[in-house]
């Protein structure tokens, strides 16, 4: 039994029919074709599927799709404006924070949620903000540097 | 040319990073082809059982199901890296040998139909006695997992150099210890996925892989298709770490389903399937006996190492050898006996790992420190004394070409104030050092070399075509950066076509640490070929001798009279007018002994060159809880010359997590062939908050044959970071580890023993 939901996705209003059992991640990737958000585990442990919902970083793989009704949701595809990368995206590139790249979109979304809420975070704040985002390649050093550089540049 | 490098050695941004920060970079699970079906695999519930019958007929009746297959639909070919290890059918028809083994599969229009159909496949098994412990498996009474391997011994590597018994007898001190380590999980962030599309007699495949050419060859064998009919295409890879070097059961499953249905098929493993049913890391038991002179010189080593090989051969001979080789490539071992046994058990399929061999390597290093202490020597001095230098031969007669080992040891020791801290450590605090060398490539027959083509396009931009593959470490950007240096054309102007078996030529892949030394050397050679052609035209047009011309910023110019210059795009057009468009080809084949063989002839030149590295870790042990903290880590790596220092540092930092912090966290846990921690809740991968303060040191030994002096960029830390932690534990407690990981319960047990006066 499908149900229609309406929400704001990357600053545009979207109305779409969904199955109640879907996760938000399923809707994004399989129905809307937004594959920038990744699935690394499917049960909210790795953070590869992180999106921002109402200002908070959320694991979309365990977020029931009906909960999206009326919400303001941002995915990695919604960060750049008019072809101009978001400062965090630029910082990740410049600081070498990207290796295999699979965790990168989720990591950037968690970082954005942090900086939106707390423009001058401490290093511990940063580590806490990305503690739900696993990275197997980088050892996190350059990721933390990238986030710090954006905070410092504000 | 080396003196005036324009871009090599600079911290450039990686060419692949733009797509990865925008979400535009595609990984296998992101692909959607017209008419694509979704596959699911039925897996063995038994660790060991005879297959009596498989019936997929009811599955085929589920609406939406387009194909259902088992091993009876395959071609009876078994996979193995070597002729003598071909024992893995991938879809077995005789018996299953591990829990989670692929038995049958379906492809349907959606996942739900596929899952429903799976439940209708009937498999009749006759359960057999299973064996899970490699030592038990070697006994005469153990169940045989493969008929052709007596006592379940898959591989026995025997290396004998000098006279070990005589040297041991003459040694001032001799020590023998046994070390164990649990196998780790690769835990790549991307779960394994494969898309197979069979159409018009051609099979196209996308999957994360560390060597597209070897993957295509394996599948052409398994599917009895001509090699040109199997095309592995480029796709981004969400990490490999050694676990995606070989053909995977899922590749065969998706291919068969696509051939049967005539439609593209996508198979995406769950996180649990990725841990249980794609590759796993070997558990290891290493017995290390060392004879030392009074001055700390190692006079003899005797080893018995047992590798829990799981159900099939995989890279058996290589996995059974590598931990020993990376050690003998680091230290002078005049007399050695190495017996490595890879033993079958009823556990998942194993592969190589970037950190492979921690029981063996950390055991060697920690034992050395204990012996040094007994002799009143400093571990730094002992390492310097025994460390190999350029020009020397390893125990199995492989020449060290360039060597920055000494520099990595000294710099890491100085930066950490090692000697002082090691001597006067406070209670439950310790510092430790681990060293290792890494071969940049190893003998793989004609696949040991790499070839590259480059064409200069009509606008002066470049297309670079190489078999090099990137699993996240930055190989793609490395290739582009090297090309940019040689051609004087910015990285942004260079398009890369890589890791596609149809359009690229052979390359060893990214699993033998050969990308920088072999692959990038081929890129350099191809670009030098094109460069010569550009310069020849420029010389005529500018009226300047060829040797006076350099290429920079898209321009060919006279070094003596820089006013004499012309854009490379003009030169390209000139070449087209002449009917001789500028195309460069180049290849690189390392100077290795191709007669060398892992089992039958373990002697001769192993690799074109070696990298060297030293890790230093400081740890603090909480006596109450047994928890180890790692506040500080220093990693020094000799990469010959860093092409992109930022990328090399990134590799080293990642290694500190995956090998170093893993020493206190990571290990697969088993109960009767069942993996207890296949997910990321139960298997703890280090988080940002678990990481130490890391300092990286890059040492440049400037390899004579490496591209611009480069060697592999960072793997030594992946194979010595655990040694540093283990040695720090020895420094803090005066005792050796018995088993890795050093989890709190493990540490408490050891501390308890220590109280018992075993110090």
Please report how the helices B379-386 and B358-374 are oriented relative to each other, as an axis angle in degrees rounded to 10: 110
DSSP one-letter string for B63-90: TTEEEEEEGGGS-S--B-SSGGG--B-S
Tell me if B524 sits within 8 A of B647, measured CB to CB: no
In a domain, B348, yes or no: no
Alpha-carbon torsion, ordered B359, B360, B365, B370, to 10 deg: 70
Residues B650, B680, single domain; the answer is: yes
Residues B113, B214, single domain; the answer is: yes
B649 touches chain A (CB under 8 A): yes
Residue B3 has what pLDDT? Answer: 62
In a domain, B735, yes or no: yes
Say yes or no for a CB contact (<8 Å) between A100 and B654.
no
List chain A residues with CB under 8 Å of B187: 134, 136
Identify the structural domains of chain A with CATH numbers, from first to last.
3-78 (3.10.20.30), 87-153 (1.10.150.120)
Of B638, B114, B87, the residue nearest B349 (C-alpha): B87
The token duo for B607 is 């690799």
Residue B512 has what pLDDT? Answer: 85
Say yes or no for a CB contact (<8 Å) between A100 and B657.
no
In a domain, B225, yes or no: yes
In a domain, B136, yes or no: no
Of B29, B50, B707, B727, the residue nearest B382 (C-alpha): B727
Say yes or no for a CB contact (<8 Å) between B191 and A39.
yes
B523/A41 Cα distance (integer angstroms): 37
For B:627-646, CB contacts with A below 8 A are 646
Say yes or no for a CB contact (<8 Å) between B21 and A98.
yes
Last residue of a domain, one of B522, B556, B588: B588
B2-61 tens-digit pLDDT? 568 999 999 999 999 999 999 999 999 999 999 999 999 999 999 999 999 999 999 999
Residue B425 has what pLDDT? Answer: 81
Strands B49-55 and B95-96: antiparallel
Residues B64, B203, single domain; the answer is: yes
Say yes or no for a CB contact (<8 Å) between A101 and B658.
no
List chain A residues with CB under 8 Å of B21: 76, 85, 89, 92-93, 98, 101, 104-105, 108
Residue B511 has what pLDDT? Answer: 84
DSSP state of A42: S
Residues B636, B688, single domain; the answer is: yes
CB pairs under 8 A between A and B: 172
A92/A143 Cα distance (integer angstroms): 7
Which parts of chain B sit beneath pLDDT 70?
Answer: 1-3, 756-759
Tell me if B347 sits within 8 A of B280, measured CB to CB: yes
Residue A154 has what pLDDT? Answer: 67
For residue B28, give how far its alpha carbon lies from the nearest alpha carbon of chain A (Å).
Answer: 11
Neighbours of B122 (CB within 10 A): 12
The token duo for B676 is 């207890």
CB-CB: which of A35, A94, A127 is closest to B689?
Answer: A127
Question: From the centroid of its chain, how far is CA B215?
Answer: 15
Residue B144 CB-half CA count within 13 A: 7
Nearest CA in chain A to B682: A45
Residues B497, B556, single domain; the answer is: yes
B471 touches chain A (CB under 8 A): yes
Residues B415, B431, single domain; the answer is: yes
Say yes or no for a CB contact (<8 Å) between B20 and A76.
no
- Which of A136, A146, A147 has the most B C-beta neighbours within 10 Å, making it the best mutation to test the interface with B? A136
Helix (H, G, I), strand (E, B) or coil at B519: helix
In a domain, B329, yes or no: no
B681 touches chain A (CB under 8 A): yes
> pTM of this prediction?
0.97
Residues B196, B267, single domain; the answer is: yes
For residue A14, give how far its alpha carbon lies from the nearest alpha carbon of chain B (Å).
Answer: 20
List chain B residues with CB under 8 Å of A96: 11, 13-14, 646-647, 649-650
For residue B33, give how far its alpha carbon lies from the nearest alpha carbon of chain A (Å).
Answer: 12
Residues B487, B584, single domain; the answer is: yes
Residue A83 has what pLDDT? Answer: 87
Say yes or no for a CB contact (<8 Å) between A140 and B191.
no
Nearest CA in chain A to B647: A96
Residue B759 has what pLDDT? Answer: 41
B325/B677 Cα distance (integer angstroms): 31
Residues B388, B455, single domain; the answer is: no
**Element of type H or E holding B206:** strand B202-206
The token duo for B217 is 């060859």
For residue B653, give how far its alpha carbon lies from the nearest alpha carbon of chain A (Å).
Answer: 5
CB-CB: which of B472, B679, B681 is closest to A101?
Answer: B472
List chain B residues with CB under 8 Å of A48: 189
Helix (H, G, I), strand (E, B) or coil at B166: helix
Query: What residues have CB less than 8 Å from A131, skipping those under 6 apart?
Result: B687, B688, B689
Q: What is the CATH number of the domain that holds B655?
A: 3.30.365.10
B683 touches chain A (CB under 8 A): no
List chain B residues with CB under 8 Å of A91: none
B740/B729 Cα distance (integer angstroms): 12
In a domain, B269, yes or no: yes
CB-CB: which of B23, B239, B270 is closest to A137?
Answer: B239
Residues B534, B674, single domain; the answer is: no
Strands B102-108 and B65-70: antiparallel
Tell me if B637 sits within 8 A of B716, measured CB to CB: yes
Say yes or no for a CB contact (<8 Å) between B689 and A102.
no
A49/B242 Cα distance (integer angstroms): 25
Residue B426 has what pLDDT? Answer: 87
B475 touches chain A (CB under 8 A): no
For residue A68, give how far its alpha carbon lies from the nearest alpha carbon of chain B (Å).
Answer: 21
Please report how the helices B520-542 and B475-487 are oriented relative to each other, as an axis angle in degrees rounded to 10: 20
Neighbours of A38 (CB within 10 A): 30
List chain B residues with CB under 8 Å of A92: 17, 21
Q: What is the mean pLDDT of residues A92-116?
A: 98
B680/B692 Cα distance (integer angstroms): 21
Residue B507 has what pLDDT? Answer: 92
As for how many domains chain B has, the answer is 3
CB-CB: which of A36, A42, A144 is closest to B23?
Answer: A36
pLDDT of A92 higher than 60: yes
Residues B81, B201, single domain; the answer is: yes
A47-63 tens-digit pLDDT? 999 999 999 999 999 99
List chain A residues with CB under 8 Å of B679: 41, 43, 45
B4 touches chain A (CB under 8 A): no
Residues B561, B704, single domain; the answer is: no
Nearest CA in chain A to B660: A139
For residue B49, give how far its alpha carbon lies from the nearest alpha carbon of chain A (Å).
Answer: 30
For residue A104, give how far its alpha carbon lies from the nearest alpha carbon of chain B (Å).
Answer: 6
For residue A131, give how far its alpha carbon lies from the nearest alpha carbon of chain B (Å).
Answer: 6
Please report how the helices B358-374 and B316-328 are oriented relative to each other, as an axis angle in degrees rounded to 10: 30
In a domain, B655, yes or no: yes
Burial class (CB in 10 A: 0-12, 13-18, 19+), B676: exposed
Say yes or no for a CB contact (<8 Å) between A96 and B650.
yes
CB-CB: which of B189, B646, B656 is closest to A102?
Answer: B189
ipTM exceeds 0.90: yes
Nearest CA in chain B to A34: B23
Say yes or no for a CB contact (<8 Å) between B189 and A89.
no
Say yes or no for a CB contact (<8 Å) between A89 and B679.
no
Q: What is the CATH number of the domain that holds B52?
A: 3.90.1170.50
List chain B residues with CB under 8 Å of A51: none
In a domain, B595, yes or no: no
Bond from prior residue into B741 cis (ω within 30 degrees of 0): yes
Residue B289 has what pLDDT? Answer: 98
User: CA-based angle B160:B163:B166, to the nearest 5?
Assistant: 140
A41 touches chain B (CB under 8 A): yes
Range of the domain at B107: 31-128+192-239+245-277
Residue B444 has what pLDDT? Answer: 87
Say yes or no for a CB contact (<8 Å) between A102 and B238.
yes
Say yes or no for a CB contact (<8 Å) between B688 and A144.
yes
B605/B442 Cα distance (integer angstroms): 9
For residue B696, give how far its alpha carbon lies from the nearest alpha carbon of chain A (Å).
Answer: 11
Say yes or no for a CB contact (<8 Å) between B271 and A43.
yes
Nearest CA in chain B to A84: B22
């Amino acid at each position: 039994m499908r149900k229609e939901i309406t929400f704001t996705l990357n600053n545009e209003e979207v109305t779409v029919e969904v199955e109640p059992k879907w996760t938000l991640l399923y809707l994004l990737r399989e129905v809307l074709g937004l594959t920038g958000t990744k699935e690394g585990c499917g049960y909210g442990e790795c953070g590869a599927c992180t999106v921002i919902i109402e200002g908070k970083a959320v694991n979309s793989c365990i977020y029931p799709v009906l909960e999206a009704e009326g919400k303001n949701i941002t995915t990695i595809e919604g960060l750049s404006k008019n072809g101009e990368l978001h400062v965090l995206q630029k910082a990740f590139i410049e600081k070498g924070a990207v290796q295999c790249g699979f965790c990168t979109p989720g990591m950037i979304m968690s970082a954005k949620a942090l900086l939106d809420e707390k423009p001058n975070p401490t290093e511990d704040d940063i580590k806490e903000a990305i503690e739900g985002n696993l990275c197997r390649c980088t050892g996190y050093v350059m990721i933390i540097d990238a986030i710090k550089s954006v905070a410092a540049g504000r | 040319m080396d003196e005036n490098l324009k871009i090599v050695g600079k911290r450039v941004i990686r060419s692949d990073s733009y797509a990865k920060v925008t979400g535009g970079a595609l990984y296998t699970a992101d692909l959607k082809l017209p008419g694509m079906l979704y596959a699911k695999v039925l897996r063995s519930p038994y660790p060991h059982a005879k297959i009596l019958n498989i019936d997929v007929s009811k599955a085929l009746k589920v609406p939406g199901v387009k194909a259902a297959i088992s091993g009876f639909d395959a071609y009876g070919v078994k996979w193995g890296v070597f002729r003598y290890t071909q024992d893995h059918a991938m879809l077995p028809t005789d018996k299953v040998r591990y829990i989670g083994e692929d038995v049958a599969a379906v492809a349907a229009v959606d996942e739900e139909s596929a899952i429903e159909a799976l439940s209708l496949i009937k498999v009749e098994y006759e359960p057999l006695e299973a064996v899970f412990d490699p030592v038990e498996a070697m006994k005469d009474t153990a169940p045989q997992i493969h008929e052709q391997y007596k006592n379940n011994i898959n591989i026995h590597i025997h290396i004998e150099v000098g006279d070990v018994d005589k040297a041991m007898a003459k040694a001032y001190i001799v020590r023998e210890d046994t070390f164990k380590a649990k196998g780790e999980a690769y835990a790549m962030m991307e779960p394994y996925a494969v898309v197979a599309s069979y159409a018009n007699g051609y099979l196209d495949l996308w999957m994360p892989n560390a060597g597209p050419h070897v993957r295509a060859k394996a599948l052409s064998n398994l599917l009895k298709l001509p090699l040109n009919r199997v095309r592995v295409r480029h796709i981004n890879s969400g990490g490999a770490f050694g676990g995606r070097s070989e053909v995977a059961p899922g590749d065969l499953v998706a291919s068969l389903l696509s051939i049967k249905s005539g439609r593209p098929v996508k198979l995406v493993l769950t996180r649990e399937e990725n841990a249980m049913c794609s590759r796993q890391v070997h558990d290891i038991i290493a017995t290390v006996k060392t004879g030392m002179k009074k001055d700390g010189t190692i006079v003899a080593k005797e080893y018995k190492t047992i590798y829990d090989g799981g159900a099939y051969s995989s890279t058996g001979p290589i996995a059974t050898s590598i931990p020993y080789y990376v050690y003998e490539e680091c230290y002078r071992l005049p007399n050695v006996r190495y017996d490595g046994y890879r033993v079958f058990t009823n556990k998942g399929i194993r592969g190589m790992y970037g950190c492979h061999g921690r029981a063996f390597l950390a055991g060697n290093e920690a034992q050395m420190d204990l012996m040094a202490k007994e002799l009143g020597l400093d571990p730094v001095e002992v390492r310097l004394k025994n460390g190999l230098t350029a020009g020397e031969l390893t125990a199995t007669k492989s020449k060290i070409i360039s060597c920055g080992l000494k520099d990595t040891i000294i710099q890491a020791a100085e930066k950490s104030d090692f000697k002082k801290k090691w001597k006067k450590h406070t209670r439950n605090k310790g510092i430790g050092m681990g060293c290792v060398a890494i071969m940049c490539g190893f003998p793989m027959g004609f696949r040991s070399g790499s070839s590259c083509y480059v064409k200069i396009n009509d606008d002066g931009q470049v297309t670079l075509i190489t078999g090099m593959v990137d699993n996240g470490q930055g190989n793609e950007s490395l290739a582009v950066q090297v090309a940019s240096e040689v051609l004087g054309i910015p990285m942004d102007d260079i398009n890369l076509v890589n890791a596609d078996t149809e359009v690229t030529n052979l390359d060893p892949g990214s699993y033998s640490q050969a990308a920088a030394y072999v692959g990038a050397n081929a890129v350099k050679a191809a670009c030098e070929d094109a460069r010569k052609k550009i310069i020849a035209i420029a010389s005529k047009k500018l009226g300047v001798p060829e040797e006076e011309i350099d290429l920079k910023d898209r321009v060919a110019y006279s070094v003596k009279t820089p006013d004499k210059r012309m854009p490379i795009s003009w030169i390209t057009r000139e070449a087209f007018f002449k009917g001789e468009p500028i195309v460069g080809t180049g290849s690189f084949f390392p100077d290795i002994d191709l007669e060398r063989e892992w089992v039958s002839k373990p002697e001769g030149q192993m690799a074109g060159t070696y990298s060297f590295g030293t890790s230093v870790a400081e740890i603090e042990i909480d006596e109450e809880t047994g928890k180890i903290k790692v506040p500080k880590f220093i990693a020094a790596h000799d990469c010959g010359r860093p092409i992109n220092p930022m990328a090399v540092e990134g590799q080293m930092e990642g290694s500190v997590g995956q090998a170093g912090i893993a020493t206190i966290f990571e290990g697969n846990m088993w109960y009767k062939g069942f993996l207890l921690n296949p997910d990321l809740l139960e298997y703890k991968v280090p988080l940002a908050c678990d990481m130490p303060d890391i300092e990286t040191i890059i040492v440049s030994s400037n390899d004579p044959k490496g591209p611009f002096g480069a060697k592999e960029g960072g793997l030594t830390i992946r194979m010595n970071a655990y040694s540093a932690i283990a040695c720090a534990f020895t420094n803090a407690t005066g005792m050796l580890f018995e088993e890795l990981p050093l989890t709190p319960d493990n540490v408490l047990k050891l501390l308890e023993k220590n109280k018992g006066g075993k110090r």
